[in-house]
Amino acid sequence: MSLGEVGADIAPTPGEHGPRYEASASRPDHGRITVQVVAPRDPDHPRTFEFRHNELVGAAARVAADAFGYTAGTPSFANDENVVLDRDKSLAAEHVHDGDTLHLVDVGGGV
């Protein structure tokens, strides 16, 4: 599409919504979900993460914890209803959907 064509001026600018953190490499947008993660030490500054829908909750939570600077503990996520997700299940199995907000928690204490 050239600059003069309809729609040329509405293309999103890459990275305009801030950095995204990816848990693992795969085909872009194939079976992936984007979520907002809120950390307890900085609740006013959630970060955007992109994960495979079949990523284990524990693995995804570890990626988020590392990005927020939490190196110890056993991270997991809680949903907006304060239900802690099972670390051994996939994000899809725990009913996490694209656009959801998840809260970083430590199921072993310490986060």
pLDDT tens digits, 62-99: 999 999 999 889 999 999 999 999 999 999 999 999 99
Share of the chain above pLDDT 70, in %: 70
Indicate whether 4 pLDDT > 60: no
SS3 content of the chain, % helix, strand, coil (to 5): 15, 25, 60
Position 72 scores a pLDDT of 87
* pTM of the model as a whole: 0.71
Share of the chain above pLDDT 90, in %: 64
Exposure of 84 in the CB half-sphere (CA atoms within 13 A) = 13
**Cα separation, 83 vs 21, whole angstroms:** 23
Domain boundaries, the chain: 18-106
Task: Select, from the ranges 26-35, 45-54, 100-109, the one with the highest average predicted confidence (pLDDT).
Answer: 45-54
Pairing of strands 20-22, 32-38: unpaired
Of the candidates 67, 66, 77, which has an alpha carbon nearest to the alpha carbon of residue 104?
77
Task: Select, from the ranges 19-23, 26-30, 54-58, the one with the highest average predicted confidence (pLDDT).
Answer: 54-58
* Residue 35, strand partner residues: 49
CATH fold of 18-106 reads Ubiquitin-like (UB roll) (3.10.20)
